[in-house]
Amino acid sequence: MRLKNVGDVAAWRLCAGCGACVYGCKEKKVRLVDIEEDGIRPVIDGYCKDCKDCLDFCPGIEVSHKNLDSVPGAAPALKKGWGPVLEIWEGYSADPEIRFKSSSGGLASAIALFCIGNRGMHGVLHTGAKDFEAWKNGTVLSRTRDEVLLRTGSRYSPASPCDGLERIEKAPSPCVFIGKPCDIAALRKAEEKRPGLKRNVGLAIGIFCAGTPSTRGTLELLKKFKAAASDVSDIRYRGMGWPGKWVANLNWGYPAISIPYSEAWGFLQKFRPLRCHLCPDGTSEFADLSCGDPWHREIKEGEQGYSLVLVRTEKGRKILRAALDAGYVYLKKAGPAALKNSQDNLLNKRKAIWGRLLGMKMLFLPTPALNGFSLYENWKELDRAGKLRSVLGTIKRILRRGYLRRLKYRIPEILERKERAQ
């Protein structure tokens, strides 16, 4: 099936919601909307010339490792499951407030602050809660410690940080970018197309990701506590301790709602869209540095946060070492077992992807091109029941959820404008 623009990508549920197509469309015809049950998705707003430029920026339809075998220093045994890994560390931010408020050990924020404070970088493009719709996310360019501190913590709801790439391209000096694996993959595609952007990306920090629940997930979670979006003044999905709590502060003096992170994630994960179930990159393989949780050991009550950080490139290695020397972070070396035992769920998901894609192809649905992830070799490691489940489970889910049809969404202002123009 031929996809003619990112509108088709979204309609066939292949969009990952990164926002890069907004930056990629020279005609400025792509707009993002939050489809409550799916995620942040593009709509073509106006006449599309079918130039397909937007598709060149899109990680939803294609993500490829081009030179995985020639990345110098990458551990050969880790490539199949985790992409290029030069070093593995565990550590935390030396700034206690950053460490406390962040998701894990605050390494993503601490390294970004090092780049701004010691490397002369202009700021960090990343995700934060929207000012007046705290249950939604926006893309922000943070320049100070307070701004970075405000945006610490993972937000388990749609975010499209690549819609702000123009701000990096136009910045007076290089910037840090923080995003999920699909956001980082989109950034790398955009860098190939726009040399000005590439020159100004000082560092790409990826976070690990098992999938982004749709906005409906957050709304249904609020509903469980008899709250609505309009009641919310602020939501944090975790942080304020490790792994922290999901906390919704409410307007009008009502007491805040608070449940443990694990309970919130247990509820929200059911709202992950199809594209996340097809995603083999859980650990930001295209980043310079990627951060996740060191779940490989039990976390004691009241323990302060730690992050696992993977060095992916020489640039990442140099910056991490310099941040350590400058006292921004504390680090100790970790081994491959720490990675595998922390993120076994991500590896198991990767093993199922080849079968899931086969299930979709059997139904003649379009699938993303995912090259360099050793998908078949990983799938072969499943037992017979796992192999069957990966194919048949996907077919069942597609039929049950009506995914043989295009996802249709109607945007009232666009429809109105079209009607007026007729």
Ligand X SMILES: Cc1cc2nc3c(=O)[nH]c(=O)nc-3n(C[C@H](O)[C@H](O)[C@H](O)COP(=O)(O)OP(=O)(O)OC[C@H]3O[C@@H](n4cnc5c(N)ncnc54)[C@H](O)[C@@H]3O)c2cc1C
List interacting residues with ligand X (CB under 6 A): 102-109, 126-128, 151-156, 159, 161, 178-180, 183, 207-210, 212, 291-293, 307, 343, 346
Of 183, 204, 199, the residue nearest 108 (C-alpha): 204
Angle formed by the axes of helices 261-268 and 215-224, nearest 10°: 120
Smallest separation, CB 140 to ligand X (Å)? 8
**Of ligand SF4, ligand X, none, which one does residue 360 interact with (CB within 5 to 8 Å by kind)?**
none
Write down the least CB distance from residue 110 to ligand X, Å: 7
Q: Which does 57 bind (CB under 5 to 8 A by kind): ligand X, ligand SF4, none?
A: ligand SF4
Residue 181 binding result from ligand X, ligand SF4, none, given CB thresholds of 5 to 8 Å by partner type:
ligand SF4
Q: Is there a contact between 212 and 157 (Cβ–Cβ < 8 Å)?
A: yes
Residue 15 binds which one of ligand SF4, ligand X, none, with CB within 5 to 8 A depending on kind?
Answer: ligand SF4
Cβ proximity to ligand SF4, 17 vs 294, nearer residue: 17
Nearer to ligand X, 18 or 54 (CB): 18
**Partner whose binding site includes residue 91, from ligand X, ligand SF4, none (CB under 5 to 8 Å by kind):** none
Provide, rounded to whole angstroms, the least separation between the CB of residue 186 and ligand SF4: 6
What gap in Å lies between CA 290 and CA 342, rounded to an integer? 14
Written in H, E and C, the secondary structure of 190-221 is: HHHHCHHHHHHEEEEEEECCCCCCCHHHHHHH
What is the C-alpha separation between 316 and 329, in angstroms, rounded? 14
For residues 291 and 311, which CB has a smaller minimum distance to ligand X in the complex? 291
Residue with tokens 């079209």: 418
Q: Which is nearer to ligand SF4, 81 or 211 (CB)?
A: 211
Residue 161 binding target from ligand SF4, ligand X, none, CB below 5 to 8 Å by type: ligand X
How far apart CA 7 and CA 54 sit, in angstroms, is 10
Closer residue to ligand X (CB): 30 or 329: 329
Cβ proximity to ligand SF4, 21 vs 334, nearer residue: 21
CB of 235 to ligand X, least distance (A): 12
- Smallest Cα–Cα separation from 210: which of 265, 135, 161, 288? 265
Residue 329 in contact with residue 349, Cβ under 8 Å?
Answer: no
Determine how many CB atoms are found less than 10 A away from the CB of residue 386.
Answer: 15
Comparing CB distances to ligand X, the nearer of 153 and 316 is 153
Indicate the angle between helix axes 344-362 and 384-401, nearest 10 degrees. 60
Cβ 97 to ligand X, closest distance in Å?
11
The interface partner of residue 307, options being ligand SF4, ligand X, none and the CB cut-off 5 to 8 Å by kind, is: ligand X
123 binds, among ligand SF4, ligand X, none (CB under 5 to 8 A by kind): none
Distance of closest approach, residue 154 Cβ to ligand SF4, in angstroms? 11
Specify the residue for token string 């469309």.
25
| Opening angle at CA 296, ends 127 and 182, nearest 5 | 30
Q: How far apart are CA 18 and CA 40, in angstroms?
A: 8
Question: Which residue's CB is nearer to ligand X, number 254 or number 295?
Answer: 295
**Coil, helix or strand at residue 158:** coil
Please check whether residue 17 is in contact with residue 41, taking contact to mean a CB–CB distance below 8 angstroms.
yes
Residues that bind ligand SF4 (CB under 6 A): 6, 9-10, 15-21, 42, 57-60, 180-182, 186, 209, 211-212, 275-276, 279
Q: How far is the CB of 164 from ligand SF4 (least distance, A)?
A: 13
- Look-up of token digits 């079918």: 50
